[in-house]
Amino acid sequence: MNRLSPEMKDWMLFEGYGKVMSRPGLNLYEREFITISILTVRYFEFQLHSHLKGCIHLGADVDLIKDILFSIKDIAGVTNYKKALKLLSRIHKPVK
Q: Which domains does the chain have, with CATH numbers?
A: 27-91 (1.20.1290.10)
Q: Please state, in angstroms and rounded to a whole number, the distance separating the CA atoms of residues 76 and 80.
A: 6
Amino acid at 10: D
Tell me the pTM.
0.77
Q: What percent of the chain has pLDDT over 90?
A: 57
Q: Please state, in angstroms and rounded to a whole number, the distance separating the CA atoms of residues 44 and 87.
A: 11
Q: Please state, in angstroms and rounded to a whole number, the distance separating the CA atoms of residues 81 and 74.
A: 9
C-beta of residue 84 within 8 angstroms of C-beta of residue 95: no
Amino acid at 41: V
- Across the chain, mean pLDDT equals 86
